[in-house]
Amino acid sequence: MGLLNYFTKKLIPNFLYTDSLKGQVGEFEVNSALNPLFFGKAEHRQINNLVIIDSNGKSHQIDHIEIRTNGIFCIETKNYSGLIFGSEKDKKWTQYLRYGKRNYFYNPIKQNKSHIFHLKKILDNKYNIYSLIVFTQNNADKININNVINLYDLKNYLNNFNEGNNYTTDEMNYIYDKLISNHNNILNSEHIKNINYTKQEISNNICPRCKGQLILREGKYGEFYGCSNYTNCRFTIKK
């Protein structure tokens, strides 16, 4: 657990420590970890809390984008306590707490896939964007997925990442400027409304990306719903 998480939980009563505040604390922890004062000197550009509006008028809030010479990373922050279990294909992951209590949350890998889809469109599909899920309470050890990591592994992961990229300063500036110019200052209540609308579309078998029909298909890992506009749209969701 990061220091901010520790002191926040100590100083703030449980009933005031809401999911929204937990999320903000987690994002601050990752933001601090990426700060050059702690991270070490690195040629990079960082965007925090980017909100974009897609072609369907829906909003997408992205916790962090880290632009480095060795890659562009879309970072989704999760500030959950307890034990976390889930696989890449699961629709929801499970949080196990004391006394047998458990909670479920939407698979953050799938969540980040949607973010990356829209970021790549802004960048005219010219660049690979890598998904990274960071658990700020350092409890991701039960998740055996390469790009799902603990906060204390973030520095090493980014420093050692190697997919053959070598972006110049001009390229990093271009990517940063292109993304930041699409930032939209909508109200949080509007963003929540958009999220709920997306959930409603999925429940009605409507693809939230392109408005195609979600069709039940059979795959290697069982039944799932895929967009009728495949291969132009690759949105899927497990049954």
pLDDT of residue 206: 83
DSSP annotation of 12 reads: S
Comparing CA positions, the residue from 192, 205, 180, 197 lying closest to residue 56 is 197
Residue 60, SS3 per DSSP: strand
HSE-CB at 174 with a 13 A cutoff on CA atoms is 10
**CA-wise closest residue to 114 among 174, 74, 69:** 74
> What was the pLDDT predicted at 214?
85
DSSP 163: S
Residue 27's DSSP bridge partners are none
Backbone angles phi, psi at 39, to 5 degrees: -75, -25
Confidence (pLDDT) at 32: 63
Closest CA to 28 of 63, 71, 69, 61: 63
Helices 3-11 & 19-34 angle (0-180, nearest 10): 150
**C-alpha span between 152 and 196 (Å, rounded):** 33
pLDDT of residue 224: 81
Determine the 3-state secondary structure of 215 from DSSP.
strand
pLDDT at residue 140 in the model: 95
pLDDT (0 to 100) of residue 13: 46
Which sequence spans correspond to the domains of the chain? Answer: 3-203, 205-239
pTM of the full structure: 0.71
For the chain, list residues with pLDDT below 50: 1-13, 15-17, 21, 23, 37-38
Structure confidence at residue 190 (pLDDT): 66
**Quick check: 214 and 226 in contact, CB under 8 A?**
yes
